[in-house]
Chains A and B, each alone.
Chain A
Amino acid sequence: MPINYYITLALCLFAIGVVGVLTRRNAIIVFMCIELMLNAVNLLLVAFSKMHHLAKGAAATAGSDGQLFVFFIMVVAAAEVSVGLAIIVMMYRNVHSININFLNRLKH
């Protein structure tokens, strides 16, 4: 499959994520949108890595660092989600809402 498809798909996913983050006020949906953006990036990384590998051909390890990055991103994203969800839980306990606009109270 040509690389263009992967890029287009990733761009679409990323744009959906961005728009979601910007427009939605529900913290969990914002979170999901962030995951969407991360996964768009993951998809691109994997696609380019595969393309790179095919172009090099002979060398077995060519392009593997891109895939390695994907694992890192996944790990970091998982950690981030656990922290973020914890924050959301605490937020809900305090203000009985998960609207992110309530977070601006932190400045007071």
Chain B
Amino acid sequence: MNNVLDIVYWIPLLPLLGCIINGLGRKSLSKGAVGFIGSGVILAAFVLSLWVFFQVRGGNVHTAEYFPFINVGNLKIPFAFQIDQLSAIWLLIITGIGFLIHVYSTSYMHDEKPEHFGRYFAYLNLFVFSMLLLVMGANFVIMFIGWEGVGLCSYLLIGFWFKKKEYSKAANKAFIMNRVGDLAFLIALFILISKLGTTTFSEIFTSASLAKLSGKEISAITLLLFIGATGKSAQIPLYTWLPDAMAGPTPVSALIHAATMVTAGIYMIARANLLFSMAPSTLNIIAIIGIATALLAATIALKQNDIKKVLAYSTVSQLGYMFLALGSGAYVAAVFHVMTHAFFKALLFLGSGSVIHAMGGEQDMRKMGGLSKYMKITNLTFLLGCLAIAGIPGFSGFFSKDEILAGAFAKSPVFYALGLLGALLTAFYMFRLYATTFKGSFRGTHEQEHHLHESPAAITIPLIILAILSVVGGFVGVPEFMAHGAHALSDFLHPIFKDSYALLPAHEVSHSTEWGLAGLSSVLIIITVIIAWTRFSKKPDLEPASGFGKVLENKWYVDELYDTVIVKPLNRLGAFLGNVVDKRIVDGAVNGVGRLVRYGSRQLRWVQSGQTGSYILMMVLGMVLIFILQFFLRK
């Protein structure tokens, strides 16, 4: 075994093994063993991924075919893995962040019963497995298996505490919304198969095979793929499941938001970048949807009081940024933001989990405040996460967000202006969150104050690691205008996107303009941060929102809109089909046949009287009838 790429299948296999062991042994294994196996397999996968990463960086790209998966007529879909620069990055994010979340979970979920603890880790491992399958698949079908797998696991984990009805409903919502997107993905897949007869990436993304597709077909395929991505990556109109997904345990939220699941849509579009670059109209739609989602979610986050809800909407908003980047053709910026976002969003979620843990399950920020005194490490790491997501210069979020904004500016200054507005909103609500939670004075009950404590090492160590990554993670992508040739990520990903660059119209923005844009956004963001910090640490808004604030607090009433426009009519249709069509018509027909036979046979019973004479009479009448038929009707 001199090349790790030959044993690359172990990367997804290990989490699957962990899932099987933990799932089957959940009643007999101790919590320590479950946690050790669950985290251990991910750590092993991470080590393999690191190894793979260095191989790939050395220019070693690899496609491994294991067995034929579907073989029908001319259609041949192998079960194959593709390891290249793009999947290598995702492997690192998934297994690296995933491992930290697993370690964190061993402490966070420790109060669960052993079998639920085992079940939790089994799901978590399965989640990582599905996501690995998604990014490693060498064709759309394998990707789709992982795509569905993460949907299933998100359902299982969001509804982990299934005894609470609203949690189960949130899980259902996530699953059903995802299915809507998945259907579009599937249709795109069928079009590809019917037009090209293959789903393998390396066969589709060649100029010869793309020449077979007409412009309309490419637009249709890319649009359908994008709808699939909106479901998985929580964009308008399918984003409402993600905030509700907060019903799951906090580490699960971190896993869904940072390492797995929501980045799947970004990955898929980045993977199919050549196809998307050939459909400029789709790219425009993606950019518009992206910026609209970013702004909508950011405005909602301004008025949320649940600490996890704020973070959830911030994820939706950040995903909007990534789609804005994709739509602007700045693919590297999107991948870059996925990476930095994974760091700081995992950090923020795990930090909020630490806070919730200390508060004994309380999630309402209005009942917190002044926590920095009690939880020094959580406070510091959370602050670093907030600085990173706000985009303070030097932190990771600054570089990736700046790159996205530069890409948006190249596409259209309008996108830039809206993007900057979104960034300011982000800075504002993040520091509203931070100041309300950690600054000021404690507003909870006396009991809670007594209970406040710093979390154990299994929670703080992942926080510290993620905080370091959030701070320095941006330096792999220092923009060209600051230091020539310092954008290591861009160079690394160049083989993936080089064909797209040739297709996309080049918008060169001069270095002085870029300096100006970065300076402008930095100054505005810093001012916003200071305003939010000073305002909310002194006087957090505890009063119920009124006027426009109420609209924002109620999320623009989008959930209510969906409820009236889609859910209720569907429920009514279901009730109609159930009560009228099924009960009356279908059941009526079935029961009616039964009743008819019973009634008929009861009447016919009287014919069999036992009177020999009547039998003979009937026989004779029958004979006469046959004669009549014979003579009069047959002619």
Interface residues of A (CB under 8 A from B): 18, 21-22, 25, 100-101, 103-107
Q: Which residues of A contact B547 (CB under 8 A)?
A: none
Instruction: Say yes or no for B611: interface residue by CB 8 A criterion.
Output: yes
Interface residues of B, dominant DSSP: helix
**In the complex the two chains form, what is the Cα distance from A101 to B611 in whole Å?**
6
Contact indicator B612/A100 (Cβ below 8 Å): yes
**How far is A21 from B621 in the complex, measured between Cα atoms in Å?**
13
The answer to whether A101 touches B620, judged by C-beta atoms less than 8 angstroms apart, is: no
Contacts of B620 in A (CB 8 A): 18, 22
Docked-complex contact B616 and A101, CB < 8 angstroms: no
Q: State A80–B263 Cα separation when bound (angstroms).
A: 91
- Of chain B, the residue at the smallest CB distance from A19 is B620
- Whether the Cβ atoms of B612 and A104 lie closer than 8 Å is yes
In angstroms, how far is the closest chain A Cβ from the Cβ of B541? 91
B616 and A22 form a contact (CB under 8 A): yes
Cβ A107 vs Cβ B610 within 8 A: yes
A106 touches B613 (CB 8 A): no
Query: Are A104 and B617 in contact, CB atoms less than 8 angstroms apart?
Result: no
**Chain B interface residue bracket vs A:** under 10
- Interface, chain B (partner A; CB < 8 A): 609-613, 616-617, 620
* Cross-chain pairs A/B with CB under 8 angstroms, 13 sampled: A18-B620, A21-B616, A22-B613, A22-B616, A22-B620, A25-B613, A101-B611, A101-B612, A101-B613, A103-B610, A103-B612, A104-B609, A104-B611
Dominant secondary structure at the A interface: helix
- In angstroms, Cα B613 to Cα A52, docked, is 38
Q: How far is the CB of B383 from chain A (nearest CB, A)?
A: 97
Specify the chain B residue showing the minimal Cβ separation from A104: B610
Q: Which residue of A lies closest to B611 (CB)?
A: A104
Alpha-carbon gap, A43 to B613, bound state (A) = 26
Nearest chain B CB to A34's CB is how many angstroms away? 10
Q: How far is the CA of A101 from the CA of B610 in the complex (A)?
A: 8
User: A18-B620, A22-B620 are contacts. A100–B610 as well, Cβ < 8 Å?
Assistant: no
A98 to B613, CA, bound (A): 14
User: Within the assembled complex, what's the spacing in Å between the Cα atoms of A106 and B609?
Assistant: 11
Taken together as a complex, chains A and B put the C-alpha atoms of A104 and B612 apart, in Å, by 7
The CA of A79 and the CA of B617, in the complex, are separated in Å by: 24
Give CA–CA (A103, B613) in the complex, Å.
10
Residues of A within 8 A of B612 (CB): 100-101, 103-104
Which residues does chain B contribute within 8 Å of A103, judged by CB atoms? 610, 612
Task: Looking at the assembled complex, report how far the CB atom of B232 sits from the nearest CB atom of chain A, in whole angstroms.
Answer: 73
- Residues of B with C-beta under 8 A to A25: 613
A107 to B609, CA, bound (A): 9
Are B617 and A22 touching (Cβ within 8 A)? yes
B609 contact set on A, CB distance < 8 A: 104
Least CB distance from A40 to B in Å reads 13
Give the residues in chain B near A106, CB-CB below 8 Å. 610
Closest 3 CB pairs of A and B: A104-B610, A107-B610, A100-B612
Q: Nearest chain B CB to A65's CB is how many angstroms away?
A: 23
Which B residues are CB-close (under 8 A) to A104? 609-612
- Chain B residues lying within 8 Å of A18, measured Cβ to Cβ, are 620
Distance, CA A91 to CA B574, complexed state (A) = 67
Point out the residues of chain A lying under 8 angstroms from B613, CB to CB.
22, 25, 100-101
Closest chain A residue, CB of each to CB of B616: A21
Closest chain A CB from B343 CB (angstroms): 90
Q: Tell me the complex Cα distance, A31–B64, Å.
A: 92
Of all chain A residues, which has the CB nearest B609? A104
**For residue B616, which residues in chain A have a CB less than 8 angstroms away from its CB?**
21-22
* Bound Cα distance from A63 to B612, whole angstroms: 37
Q: How far is the CA of A18 from the CA of B617 in the complex (A)?
A: 9
Q: How near does chain B come to A41, taking the closest CB pair, in angstroms?
A: 13
| A39–chain B nearest beta-carbon distance, Å | 18
15 more CB-based (< 8 A) A-B contacts, given A22-B613, A106-B610, A107-B610: A18-B620, A21-B616, A22-B616, A22-B620, A25-B613, A100-B612, A101-B612, A101-B613, A103-B610, A103-B612, A104-B609, A104-B610, A104-B611, A104-B612, A105-B610
Q: How long is the Cα–Cα vector from A103 to B611 in the complex, in angstroms?
A: 8
In this complex, which of A25, A101, A104, A106 has the most chain B Cβ atoms within 10 angstroms of its Cβ?
A104
Closest chain A residue to B624 by CB distance? A18
Q: Give Cα A103 to B617, complex, Å.
A: 16
CA distance A107 to B607 in the complex (A): 13
Residues of A within 8 A of B611 (CB): 101, 104
Query: Which residue of chain B is the closest to A99 with respect to CB atoms?
Result: B612
**Cα separation A18 to B620 with both chains bound (whole Å):** 8
Nearest to A103 among chain B residues (CB) is B612
A16 to chain B, nearest CB (A): 13
Shortest distance from the beta carbon of B472 to any chain A beta carbon, whole Å: 99
How close is B610's CB to chain A, nearest CB, in angstroms? 3
A35 shortest CB reach to chain B, Å? 15
Q: Chain A nearest CB: distance from B625 CB in Å? A: 14
